[in-house]
Amino acid sequence: MKASLVLFALGATSLLPAQDVPLQRPEERMETRRQSAEIYEAVRPVARKVSASTVWVWVKGRQVAIGTVVGDGTQVLTKWSEIGINYDSIQVVGGDGRQANATVLGVYQDEDIAMLQLEGARFTPITWSVEETPPVGRFLVAAGPDDNPLRVGVVAVSERILRETDQAFIGVELKGGHEGEGVLVGNVMEDGGAKMAGVKAGDVILELGGVKVDSAFELRAVLLNHEPGAKLGMKVLRGGKELELQVELKGRPEFPQLPQARLNVMRAMGGPLSVVGSGFPTVIQTDMQLKPNQCGGPVVDLKGNVIGMTISRTDRTRSYILPASDVAAILGKESTSPELAEIPGRNDQQLTMRQNQSRPRAVPMNPGSADRLRRHLEEMQSLLERMDLEMGGIGE
């Protein structure tokens, strides 16, 4: 139980006093509060290192995002989809209380980032880390404009390509029900590398790139380590005989979106989600439970290195960070004017869902309901994770 309490405490570090986790027992709540305060104080000095380079972004009297100061101190990067609907009414506020009006200089659509130009104040520009991105398990802190950390979490998945068209793809659909080694090919797509390599429906893929694969998850893990254009050896079993093939990886095509309205509702049960929560070129995945208006600010490791910028709350257990190298690189790219940029969320069903979530309803509970609901939520989360893995295995 102690490990679970530590995770509860990490999720509550953005609030003072600490926010209670729903469905906690009294003894768990007391332990959560104690550990939250300890963790909060431990990481405060780290967050303070970049607070002068962080601002709150306000639109029409509402705080909608965090901003990261760049350039000469009068430019700020923030999340475009959170300000796009009213980008002509933006103000930023620093932790020291200084305010400035802001206009949108340009939009980087792929990363969902807007560049703001400030009038009336100059802040300290951020210094991006030049070190390698942090490995899985490394503690991270999402900083705020004052010295209070917004969230604390760990790297859940190391830096990876998120945009499907940039992912390696061999062009097979796998078939379930196979027993034994390897994965069974149900269908071979016409434009994939597998077709050109001679893979046929009914083949069993035993290895790819010298790595044994016994599940769709393992096959996808191999592909995530390679880019389109790479040529890999493949070992398949056909009619009881092993064959050695050479497959060239292609870019993953865009598939029609599967109906998943109910899945989206389930994912949002942990709180409001970002209007744009996917499709970024490269991300670091973390378990920080960010709020949508806490995205756009710098993230540091426990040494104070600025490893990236928070960009989305994607579901109950996933938030995404743009790596520092990628954020620094876009500053040299040509941006799109706000008048020409797409404004996500203007007619988005997810935006309506977020607004509805801001009006919680009281639900009476019978004795024992809390424990039953706790078990149901755990089962639902396990189901979601399995669904993500299975959906990831469709069309490798």
The fold adopted by the segment(s) 164-255 is Pdz3 Domain (2.30.42)
**CATH class for the region spanning 51-161+263-357:** mainly beta
Q: Give backbone dihedrals phi and psi of 136, rounded to 5 degrees, phi first.
A: -60, 135
- Report the sign of the C-alpha dihedral through residues 35, 39, 42, 45, in that order: negative
- Bridge partners (DSSP) of residue 76 are 69, 116
Does residue 17 have a cis bond before it (omega within 30 degrees)?
yes
Q: Number of helices and strands (H, E) in the chain?
A: 9, 20
* Among candidate residues 183, 173, 153, 86, the one with its CA nearest the CA of residue 294: 153
Q: Which of 210, 246, 255, 198 is nearest to 396 (CA)?
A: 255
Q: List the one residue out of 335, 297, 312, 364 whose CA is nearest residue 126.
A: 297
126 closest CA partner among 189, 50, 239, 183 = 50
The torsion of the CA quartet 361, 37, 141, 382, rounded to 10 degrees, works out to -50
Q: Locate the domains of the chain by residue range.
A: 2-48, 51-161+263-357, 164-255
CA distances 190 to 165, 184, 187, 373, Å, are 17, 18, 10, 47
The one-digit pLDDT tens for each residue of the chain (396 residues) are 333 333 333 443 333 334 445 556 777 777 777 776 777 788 899 999 999 999 999 999 899 999 999 999 999 999 999 999 889 899 999 999 999 999 999 999 999 999 999 998 999 999 999 888 899 899 999 999 998 899 999 998 888 766 655 678 899 999 888 888 999 999 999 888 999 999 999 999 999 999 999 988 889 888 877 878 889 999 999 999 999 999 999 877 755 544 445 555 555 556 788 989 888 888 999 999 899 999 999 999 999 999 999 999 988 888 999 999 999 998 889 999 999 999 886 544 444 444 444 333 333 344 454 555 555 555 665 565 555 555 555 456
Domain 51-161+263-357 identical in fold to domain 164-255: no
